[in-house]
Structure 1
Amino acid sequence: MKYQDIIKKMTIEEKASLMSGKDFWQTQDIERLGIKNIFLADGPHGIRKQAEAADHLGLNESLPATCFPTAATVANSWNEKLGEKIGQYLGEEAVAQKVNVLLGPGINMKRDPLCGRNFEYFSEDPFHAGKFAASYIKGIQSHGISACVKHFAVNNQEERRMSIDTIVDERTLREIYLTAFEIAVNEGKTKTVMSSYNKLNGTYTNENTHLMKDILRDEWNFEGVVVTDWGGSNDRVAGLIAGNELEMPTTAGETNQEIIAAIKNGKLKEEVLDENVERLLDLIFTTEEVYNKPYKKEFDVQEHHKVAQEVAEESIVLLKNEENILPLDKAVKVATIGDFAKEPRYQGAGSSIVNPTVLDNTLECLDESVIVSVGYEPGFERYGKKSQKKIDQACALAKKADVVLLYIGLDEATEAEGLDRQNMNIPQNQIDLLHALYEVNPNIVAILSCGSAVEMPWINKVKGLLHGYLSGQAGAKAMLRVLTGEVNPSGKLAETYPLRYEDTPAYHQFPGKEVSVEYREAMYIGYRYYDSASVNVRFPFGYGLSYTSFDYTDIKVNKGEVTFKLTNTGNVAGMEIAQLYVGCQSNDIFRPKKELKGFTKIFLAPGETKTVTIPFDDKAFRYFNVKTNQWEIEEANYDIMIGASSSDVRLEDELFVEGTGAPLPYDKEKLPTYYSGKVNNVSEEEFERVLGRKVPVSTWDRSKPLGYNDTIAQCQYAKGGFARFAFRLITFSHWFLRKIGKRETANLIMMSVYHMPFRGVARMTGGVINMPMLDGILMIVNGHFFKGLRHVIKERSKKLNVAKG
């Protein structure tokens, strides 16, 4: 052990104290042994270090930092080098703010478009997400601090995220939900991993030895630290045994005592605790090295703002350009309409909220551009309230213009951590505005701002459509440069846009409402489903237009790589994203029609041709065999496809690949739905055959008393009248706040109260309410009001007496 000498000098109490936070964002320190505390800060797309009044949900303002485009946005650039550059700039700012661990990137799969946190995640494809994660991590850790890849794993819904049990078969788990983490660990060399809140097949992830030991430690050889998501610890000792070193935030010493007691009664071996301490010490000492010498305490705000703009420019996706309405001619008269033009929607909501150093908005940037502006009108109320007056004023302005720039999208209260979206619609008042504008001026270019996929039944009413996603503090200027042709758009979608939500693969199984959520669609998420089941979509994965055109020719395939020629056949310089897909011609094992196995972004001048090479890596032909419990290769001919998107294959060849000779894992006759790929309504019986066991009961047992891992929402079934009254009060408050327009506050009730498990009350209050006091609260909830109240008062008195010493 590297720190054996230090660990030998530590008491059991000191070892235990290191395993939980000192406060909301810092680890514990032990001065006598020279062990400093380190600071962890949110930061997937910008540093959120709170100077005071720490909280996890972004309510209190943090120190100013560059707000880069969110992960969902940058993913559309398909440029790994750009990801590494963002990481380098994030790392520089983290060091300037004396942060040791930056909590990001987030790489959960976009299983369903309604997941409320999709704006924080890269992709519906694990290879794509993993490559971006690795690039961010390399950039961040180049400054000597640690990235923290999250949320490990299968955390794909926000509703009931702290208690939901994710039921997924082993092959799907490995191929879809763990591959991005595997790349982040093996290629990115992340020093820290954050466990997710949810259960995986019956066990909380940070206690799940199959996930944490068998896969993360033994298979991937991860030697770093696992930290819980904030308040995500259930059984502290079980977490330590699984190798979850750090619990955050502080529990004011309560779980330290659990650890000490477990060592004394033999439930936890001291050597296991020592191993956890060793790994945490390594994180502390290695990330403190940068601060043991002079370091930059400031960063160049304008330089970082320019980088944020560069990233936004390369991530904008041109989705429609009818009659070549874009780029805008210099002489064209433009009306700017839409509330988002004045108050940009540039980032998500929740723990990732960044306090930007600068914030561009379209109206101010218009003055610096070549656009001839005839004026601005908001056109709609931001949070969905109808206003005919605003529509009329917008139409009057539109009549004066040659082209209407219409800024629409989703508001901050619709896409937020802790909540899933209710539908895939743009608010109706914005659609009403679009229809009215179309009647007076059909030359409409819509500029879309949102962090996830939306339905677009209105798309025939716009001639141009640019999607900026959530483009950070410099996104407004970046968008104007694309509109005017100063920048040729080169982004492509990292997620599929279905025609309607009912077409999505998890439609019948999202979200899990009570005990569990079943991933019956298996590996058929995103384009894997749409292509395999021949379902039409609005925009396919990997889709994006340009102001120029590209020609693909001359494909050559060998065992190690595929090469081809790419030519810019237009008269404008541009960048093209070429995508490598692989499909197996054998149908002995069910699998998607094609899967992304490589990509590259190439810059070409007008008329220029380049030879492009994309290598095959160790993931190109593998599948996870549930019989051998390892990765195997099926011997077969494989289709090698080079596409401009998942549905626009330009070149095709085939390659014979030798297999590993593993036995076939499935009985084809018993899995007809999975072999057809048409999986959006799989029966329970067929899912159980893939799962290899019975699915657990997915509904609450309303006859049992409520316990630690039941949620506040379940108080509606409580035996205690006081608890049922509290539930009604919470639901009324949520309804009333939405009614009076306080939607963000209403969301907060759902996020931090309604779906919170009872143990979260203790884990998230920093020791103000401890577990013995929580026992009393549960007595009240379960119908023993006075007994429970006496217990709470008694345990609180005990706690105060201990604190007084």
Structure 2
Amino acid sequence: MTSPHPVATGHEALIGSLDLPAKVALLTGASMFTLRPEPSIGLGEMRMSDGPTGVRGLTFTGGRTVALFPNATLLAAAWNPASAYEVGRMLAEEAVAQGIHVVLGPTINLHRSPLGGRLFEAYSEDPLLSGVLAAAYVRGLQDHGVGACLKHLVANESETARHTVDSVVDEATLRELYLLPFEIAVADADAWSIMAAYNKVNGTPATEQHHVINEIVKGEWGYRGLIVSDWWATTSAAPAANGGLDLVMPGPGGPWGRHLVDAVTAGDVDKAVIDDHVRRLLLLAERAGVLGEPRERQAPVPAPDSPMRREQLTRLAAEGMTVLKNERATLPLARGATVALIGRHALETIDMGGGSAQVNPPYQVSVAEGLTALLGDAVAVTDGVEARHRPVPAAAGFAVHPVTGEPGVQVSVHAEDGSVIDERHAASGVAMIGIDDDLPEPPHAVRLRARLPQGGKLQVGGIGAGAWEVRVGQLVERFELTLDSGDVGEAVLRPPGGTTLADAEPGDLLETEVTLAETAGRGRRGLYGLVARPAPENVDAVVARAVSAAQDADVAVVVVGLTEEQETESVDKTTLRLPGAQDALVAAVAAAARRTVVVVNAATPILMPWLDQVDAVLWAGLPGQEGGHAVAATLLGDIEPAGRLVTTFPAADEAGPAWSVTPVEGRLEYTEGAFVGYRGHDRGPAPAFWFGHGLGYSTWEYSDAAILDGQGHRLAVTVTNTGGRTSREVVQVYFRPTDDRRPVRLVGWQAATVEPGESARVEVATDPRLWRYWDETRAAWTPLPSQGRIIFARGLGDVRATLELSGR
């Protein structure tokens, strides 16, 4: 089978100098994150790194210290392409400093169901917003010499059974929604690479998608870049190569190599297909500066803890934070007021999601640290209820290396005969075994040892699949931890944990040993850690202490949220309810406090049964390493939280147009079609908060809405800041067709910053890609009939002006 749309690069002589095995060898990675060099044609090693919230580098865990950025939904909530470009530029700087050529991001799958575990990595539920922000991010990276990788192509909106699920999507929905962000980022930014997903699409693996990859992306869009597999996603040779996949990751093994050479020799894959894959690889290498004369890429890069990075990361996090409710002008907080800051998330603020988005930051600022830095003794901090179900690694101050005394854990890896094959210090309390390391023998057991500086009643144990023995003082506890699925990601991203309670004396030695379990047919590998932390307290006692603190203050600020248990790769949520007794904590504090502010430390929707009881709600996302400083700055009004929601918040579980993320007999059917998120809620039921909702710290009037071109492609409205402070307004324009078979859709937006009492005339140019639909009968794009209503709104729950569009 010949590729129908070969790319032209001018590298024919280089390709012609390689024999078939040499060409095929280039099409599988050399390691976890590197590609093979080929000195004979001047091709150097190309390096990739995960990168949605920071450039981690060539290892999956640990690695060098790098800046931790706010998560994608928080960045997107600013509705600001300039900020997305700035993030891309900053990530390019971080990549160049590490010799990274391609950053694996942005993630531009849509928020189909709010249960999706990986939504925190993806921008929004809307294809236009996602696509425009992705294009700006890509330009920020690539304008500075680092390639972007759009992911995950396509219909990869949930994590349950992610390696086997078949996403069943009709052609119109696929093109109008799920492919549109990719189309925008390709057309407007020429992204250098795209990642093919784990799942199937309409029965065919995403890595073998001739229709999507060859016919649409490389064909209709004229895409010149490289299609790379998600890690371990490729399971075939000829079908994937013919389906348009250019590169298999990771390496050095995989399903291609000799099998692909044999497929070409047998005539199952045309040599021209291989040449096109190599051509695209060489184009990426040329763009990244590793083909021919090496490009000088070194430049001064701000340290991740430098004043410049602190300012940038604080500002970027704060500008996406969103005021969901603000009664009695409770926010911003008045300086001079006493504050009871309550909640586990106030002390242990969650700054990043789980999985491949995690990095090793220089520090993470908690809300308690940030607010205390600004208000000092006016803040009284009180811990809250437990928010996790699974054990977490040794808490800071509860485990030190038994020999050196450094914070962390001593780790030794043993072969089957008991010999030590690796030793390391794990400052985080966890170690990745068999992923990033090159061990001389297969690992059989891992021992983790730590000294306990503090005594008392402790929770101790281990994390990771296998047979465990835990010893501290007189206690010896044995248990076995097993994996729930065959997904290798479970052993790495959500390993099981087991704990017990122990009475420890200060200085006691905690020793654990685990005999490793096989992991999804990939040998003994995974994440292993030691648990050491204070024993959990009684919930009633915790809540009573919080109520007492709230009664003694002018205002109570309760910080609640999710953790990496819910917002992570490889697992979806089962409910939007806050974990643990957090809802009961908020309700009790609200009943006792003079005023109550709730800060939601989560990237995705939650339910708020206490909403009518509190005065204000601030959605803070996963705010990155400067999270506590950003939350404090917004609470006090030093930076306006002018964000707008990027996901509709349902009013109850199952009260959304698309809900289930669980395949039925292997199939996940997108039966809602194009009616996702706000598009579906427009037909009911009404949500708790609409996509696009956000109050900021001012009030606004809209007037003189107008259609400037007669077709709805150019619009204008005057906005007047009727509040008492300078504020940023995001004018959102939607089109609701008369034909109710087609959903309402965002067609454009424009922001304006206006002084108090002043007005601004805001013009909005709508995107022509939203004024078409896919006609399945004709198998072609067709102009959308322009009969309908133009809506100027602050989310569809706050419509400010409407204009009738009567058609051409």
Same-fold call, TM cutoff 0.5: yes
Structure 1 residues not aligned, in runs of 5+ = 659-805
**1:574 and 2:727 are equivalent in the alignment:** yes
Instruction: Give the deviation of 1:624 after TM superposition.
Output: 0.8
Q: Which residue of 2 aligns with 1:628?
A: 778
CA contact (8 A) 1:331 1:372 kept: no
- What is the CA–CA distance in structure 1 between the aligned matches of 2:539 and 2:211, rounded to whole Å? 55
Is the alpha carbon distance of 1:409 and 1:266 closer, same or farther for their aligned partners in structure 2, counting shifts above 3 Å? same
CA contact (8 A) 1:598 1:614 kept: yes
Instruction: Give the deviation of 1:170 after TM superposition.
Output: 0.6
Instruction: Give the deviation of 1:82 after TM superposition.
Output: 0.7
Q: Which residue of 2 aligns with 1:596?
A: 746
Matches within 5 A, 1:513-662: 513-531=664-682, 533-557=683-707, 558=709, 559=711, 560-587=713-740, 590-592=741-743, 594-658=744-808
- What is the CA–CA distance in structure 1 between the aligned matches of 2:344 and 2:664, rounded to whole Å? 34
Which deviations, in whole Å up to 9, do the C-alpha atoms of 1:620-643 show, x marking residues without a partner?
321111011111014442311111
- What is the CA–CA distance in structure 2 between the aligned matches of 1:376 and 1:89, rounded to whole Å? 34
Tell me the secondary structure at the aligned position of residue 493 of structure 1: coil
**1:174 and 2:175 are equivalent in the alignment:** yes
Q: Which residue of 2 aligns with 1:512?
A: 663
Matches within 5 A, 1:72-151: 72-151=73-152
**1:186 and 2:191 are equivalent in the alignment:** no
Tell me the secondary structure at the aligned position of residue 16 of structure 1: helix
Q: Which residue of 2 aligns with 1:670?
A: none
Letter in 2 for 1:579: Q
Q: Which residue of 1 aligns with 2:364?
A: 359
CA contact (8 A) 1:492 1:543 kept: yes
- What is the CA–CA distance in structure 1 between the aligned matches of 2:695 and 2:322, rounded to whole Å? 7
Letter in 2 for 1:642: F
- What is the CA–CA distance in structure 1 between the aligned matches of 2:254 and 2:566, rounded to whole Å? 37
**1:5 and 2:8 are equivalent in the alignment:** no
- What is the CA–CA distance in structure 1 between the aligned matches of 2:49 and 2:572, rounded to whole Å? 24
CA contact (8 A) 1:95 1:143 kept: no
- What is the CA–CA distance in structure 2 between the aligned matches of 1:480 and 1:32, rounded to whole Å? 56
Matches within 5 A, 1:427-438: 427-438=579-590
Tell me the secondary structure at the aligned position of residue 601 of structure 1: strand
CA contact (8 A) 2:96 2:297 kept: no
**1:339 and 2:339 are equivalent in the alignment:** no
Choose between structure 1 and 2: higher strand proportion: 2
Matches within 5 A, 1:716-795: none
CA contact (8 A) 1:442 1:462 kept: no
Question: Which region of structure 1 is more displaced relative to structure 2, 495-504 or 29-38?
Answer: 29-38
**1:62 and 2:67 are equivalent in the alignment:** no
Letter in 1 for 2:631: M
Instruction: Give the deviation of 1:515 after TM superposition.
Output: 1.2
Matches within 5 A, 1:445-456: 445-456=597-608
Question: Which region of structure 1 is more displaced relative to structure 2, 149-158 or 453-462?
Answer: 453-462
Q: Which residue of 2 aligns with 1:26?
A: 34
Q: Which residue of 1 aligns with 2:384?
A: 379
- What is the CA–CA distance in structure 1 between the aligned matches of 2:628 and 2:173, rounded to whole Å? 39
Which deviations, in whole Å up to 9, do the C-alpha atoms of 1:209-246 show, x marking residues without a partner?
11001110111111100000000102122222122111
CA contact (8 A) 1:330 1:371 kept: no
Q: Which residue of 2 aligns with 1:318?
A: 323
Structure 2 residues not aligned, in runs of 5+ = 1-7, 390-535
Tell me the secondary structure at the aligned position of residue 187 of structure 1: helix
- What is the CA–CA distance in structure 2 between the aligned matches of 1:106 and 1:254, rounded to whole Å? 25
Which deviations, in whole Å up to 9, do the C-alpha atoms of 1:689-747 show, x marking residues without a partner?
xxxxxxxxxxxxxxxxxxxxxxxxxxxxxxxxxxxxxxxxxxxxxxxxxxxxxxxxxxx
Instruction: Give the deviation of 1:478 after TM superposition.
Output: 1.1
- What is the CA–CA distance in structure 1 between the aligned matches of 2:640 and 2:552, rounded to whole Å? 28
CA contact (8 A) 1:144 1:286 kept: yes
CA contact (8 A) 1:582 1:620 kept: no
- What is the CA–CA distance in structure 1 between the aligned matches of 2:260 and 2:562, rounded to whole Å? 46
Tell me the secondary structure at the aligned position of residue 497 of structure 1: coil
CA contact (8 A) 2:554 2:594 kept: no
Instruction: Give the deviation of 1:511 after TM superposition.
Output: 2.0
Q: Which residue of 1 aligns with 2:214?
A: 213
Instruction: Give the deviation of 1:534 after TM superposition.
Output: 3.0
Question: Which region of structure 1 is more displaced relative to structure 2, 442-451 or 569-578?
Answer: 442-451
- What is the CA–CA distance in structure 1 between the aligned matches of 2:317 and 2:358, rounded to whole Å? 17
Match of 2:23 among 15, 36, 44: 15
Is the alpha carbon distance of 1:648 and 1:367 closer, same or farther for their aligned partners in structure 2, counting shifts above 3 Å? closer
Tell me the secondary structure at the aligned position of residue 378 of structure 2: strand
- What is the CA–CA distance in structure 1 between the aligned matches of 2:302 and 2:244, rounded to whole Å? 36
CA contact (8 A) 1:40 1:102 kept: yes
Which deviations, in whole Å up to 9, do the C-alpha atoms of 1:544-595 show, x marking residues without a partner?
11221111111110234001111111110000111010122245xx111x21
Instruction: Give the deviation of 1:518 after TM superposition.
Output: 0.7
Is the alpha carbon distance of 1:358 and 1:379 closer, same or farther for their aligned partners in structure 2, counting shifts above 3 Å? closer
**1:268 and 2:269 are equivalent in the alignment:** yes
- What is the CA–CA distance in structure 2 between the aligned matches of 1:7 and 1:536, rounded to whole Å? 58
Q: Which residue of 1 aligns with 2:298?
A: 295
Instruction: Give the deviation of 1:428 after TM superposition.
Output: 3.5
Tell me the secondary structure at the aligned position of residue 562 of structure 1: strand
Tell me the secondary structure at the aligned position of residue 499 of structure 1: coil
Tell me the secondary structure at the aligned position of residue 263 of structure 1: helix
Is the alpha carbon distance of 1:622 and 1:368 closer, same or farther for their aligned partners in structure 2, counting shifts above 3 Å? same
- What is the CA–CA distance in structure 2 between the aligned matches of 1:294 and 1:207, rounded to whole Å? 35
CA contact (8 A) 2:736 2:790 kept: yes
CA contact (8 A) 1:371 1:484 kept: no
Instruction: Give the deviation of 1:326 after TM superposition.
Output: 1.2
- What is the CA–CA distance in structure 1 between the aligned matches of 2:664 and 2:604, rounded to whole Å? 21
- What is the CA–CA distance in structure 1 between the aligned matches of 2:766 and 2:635, rounded to whole Å? 37
Instruction: Give the deviation of 1:374 after TM superposition.
Output: 4.3
Question: Which region of structure 1 is more displaced relative to structure 2, 219-228 or 620-629?
Answer: 620-629
Tell me the secondary structure at the aligned position of residue 735 of structure 2: strand
Which deviations, in whole Å up to 9, do the C-alpha atoms of 1:125-146 show, x marking residues without a partner?
1111111111110101111120
- What is the CA–CA distance in structure 2 between the aligned matches of 1:363 and 1:208, rounded to whole Å? 49
Instruction: Give the deviation of 1:396 after TM superposition.
Output: 2.3
Q: Which residue of 2 aligns with 1:241?
A: 242
